[in-house]
Structure 1
Amino acid sequence: MANEDEARDWNGATGRYWADHPGHYDAMLARLTPHLIEAAGIRPRERVLDIGCGFGTTTLLAAERGATVLGADLSGPMLAVARERAAGRDGVRFEQTDVQVHDFGADSFDVALSRFGVMFFDDPLAAFTNVTRALRPGGRLAFLCWQDLRENEHRAVALDAIAPHVDVTGAAPAGPGPFSFARPDYLRELLSGAGLTGIGVDPVREPVRLGADAADAAEFLRHGAMFKTIFARYPAETVERAVAALIEALVPHETPEGVLLGGATWLVTARKP
């Protein structure tokens, strides 16, 4: 695999945590996911590649539209959940592989899509060039990725809450990671370089659900990769003070639907000539 560090993470503690909480992540992204499915415009009998499919939510949504779908992901723990969810479903299969280098065969898919699964390649140009090769002429790409961290209230509020207790500098480092595709000009240059045309980078903003209440949301955040990395540098008492501050900051965002804060994304679309 080309993405060795990511493969290690997604087959280790990070991947296991996601695999143990698929419902929480789906609820978090519930208002954003329909934008992706609509943009992909999936039709019956089309062949779909779901990039970074995780536990298969978008794979199954594509299959519900009558498509034949391959879900590809680095993470064995999440794919185990995906296969369990898809048991007995026709037209759905999953493969543990690195989309950056896997040979899918030329002109194999009508659509490639991804829900926040494309920001982790160590060589994004190689990855999207490989995806372009796998699309048929006229084939479509659609994916969601995060805008800048500070545009995302669900991260900014949380980081500001813990900042008096821990150092949050470098929470979104350069290189592969959730916010690596934050710049639209970079996205257009990247996809154009990969041989795609008709590139659209459109803002989509929706509330993100972090948990049932403030305590649940804080527990969820503290085990995510970003906060786990920050907290790993500090003794337990410091972490507990930071988490208490986080809970306090999240209480005003409690609603009957759970803790809701703003999410800012790019909905990216393109075609193979």
Structure 2
Amino acid sequence: MVTELRVDASNATQLASWDGSGGAFWVAHADRFDEGVAAYRDRFLAAAAIDETAAVLDVGCGSGRTTLDAARRATAGSVLGVDLSAQMLELARRRAEREHVTNVTFEQADAQIHPFPAEAFDVAVSRHGVMFFGDPVAAFTNLARALRPAARIVLLTWQPFERNEWLQAFFTCLAAGRDIPVPPSDAPSPFAFSDPDRIRSLLNTAGFCDVRVEGLTEPMYFGPDPDDAFRFVSAQHSGLVRDLDPDIKSRALDELRTNLAEHHTARGVLYDSAAWLIQAHRD
């Protein structure tokens, strides 16, 4: 018998995307997404400080790369990865099997309301996975209940839009002279955790203390060459040009191709990016 997934009404739109076409795109390009932010990997895992017996919760685990990284550190412990996307979770399970990582479990769940066992985890982590909660206070309050007293939570989120050259460049090219609203910083979006004051307020209200927000900057990778990067970026952001006049759309895509070529280096197509490394403890 298949149990229907319980999702808070405020997360219904996210479910439709991540368990639909959005999730399918991420599965098709999972390695590229992981490669894109790989420069943040070591700092993020070092902050998580996962010991060998830890019970770890990975929130918004996607295709499981961070979950598997955590499991390799918690060799005598366990890791649970949760996400809204059944497609990404299936890929995560295949990755775990292929890489012979056995101390992981993946579950489709809305972490905002999921009935995690109380005080069951030593560490909660999330790599760009907590910015889409419909009610972040409710979500982090639920996560706090799942953590043991004084347990750590470690998050990687984006700094504001204007500090992330990659998305700013793509929006500028594909706007074709239009005013395109940037993703909001106070609602579910990639930048919902971009304001340090908002981060501290949300986490403190939800039952966390000692909130630390550290700025990191790293190059973000989009492909080995401009043509490869163009195929990926133009597909990811196709919605920005879908309704344009064909000639205007062609010029916008040509501008994107030129911009990508200008960022081609010996290590591939790279853009500047900026993220927050957030650390806190459960009260």
Same fold, TM-score > 0.5, yes or no: yes
Q: 1:172 aligns with which of 159, 168, 183?
A: 183
Picking from 17, 21, 42, the partner of 2:50 is 42
Show the 5 A alignment for 1:12-31: 12-31=20-39
Q: What is the Cα deviation at residue 168 of structure 1?
A: 4.6
**Maintained 8 Å contact 2:171/2:180:** no
1:92-103 equivalence runs, <5 A: 92-103=104-115
Q: 1:266 is matched with which residue?
A: 276
State the one-letter code of the partner of 1:241. Answer: R
Q: What is the identity, as a one-letter code, of the residue corresponding to 1:23?
A: D
Normalised by the size of structure 1, how large is the TM-score? 0.95
Any conservation in 1 of the 2:153–2:280 contact (CA below 8 Å)? yes
State how far apart, in whole Å, the 2-side matches of 1:228 and 1:107 are: 43
Contact kept? 1:171, 1:230, Cα under 8 Å: no
- Structure 2 CA distance, aligned partners of 1:102 and 1:40? 23
Q: Which amino acid aligns with 2:260?
A: L
- Residues 112 and 142 in structure 1, CA contact (< 8 A), matched pair in contact too: yes
Tell me the C-alpha RMSD between the 2 structures.
1.3
TM-score of the aligned structures, taking structure 2 as reference length? 0.92
CA distance in 2, matches of 1:162, 1:229: 10
User: Aligned residue pairs: how many?
Assistant: 270
Gaps of 5+ in 2: 1-6
Report the counterpart of residue 58 of structure 1 in structure 2: 66
The residue number in structure 2 matching 1:132 is: 144
Residue 160 of structure 1 deviates from its aligned partner by: 2.2
User: Which one is further off, 215-224 or 201-210?
Assistant: 215-224
Report the Cα distance in structure 2 between the residues aligned to 1:244 and 1:110, rounded to whole angstroms: 49
1:1-273 equivalence runs, <5 A: 1-2=7-8, 3-65=11-73, 66=75, 67-87=77-97, 88-163=100-175, 165=176, 167-173=178-184, 175-224=187-236, 227-273=237-283
How far does residue 166 in structure 1 lie from its aligned partner after superposition? Answer: 5.1
In 2, Cα distance between equivalents of 1:236 and 1:16: 26
Q: Is the 8 A contact 2:211 2:280 kept in 1?
A: yes
Equivalent-residue separation in structure 1 for 2:191 and 2:243 (angstroms)? 22
Contact kept in structure 2, 1:166 and 1:230, CA below 8 Å: no
Q: Secondary structure at the match of 1:31?
A: helix
Unaligned runs of 5+ in 1: none
Q: Partners in 1 of 2:226 and 2:235 — Cα distance?
A: 15
Please state whether the residue corresponding to 2:148 is helix, strand or coil. Answer: strand
Amino acid at match of 2:19: N
Deviation (angstroms), 1:10: 0.5
Q: Decide whether aligned partners of structure 1 residues 214 and 98 sit closer, same or farther in structure 2, where only a CA change above 3 A counts.
A: same
Shift of 1:77: 1.0
Q: Name the CA distance, whole Å, in 1 between partners of 2:177 and 2:17.
A: 23
- Asked whether the equivalents of residues 48 and 111 of structure 1 are also in contact (C-alpha less than 8 Å), the reply is yes
Identical amino acids, percent of aligned pairs: 40
2: CA distance, partners of 1:149 / 1:110? 32
Q: Distance in 1 between matches of 2:127 and 2:179?
A: 26
**Which string of whole-angstrom CA distances, capped at 9 and with x for unpartnered residues, describes residues 202-222 of structure 1?**
101100001122222222222
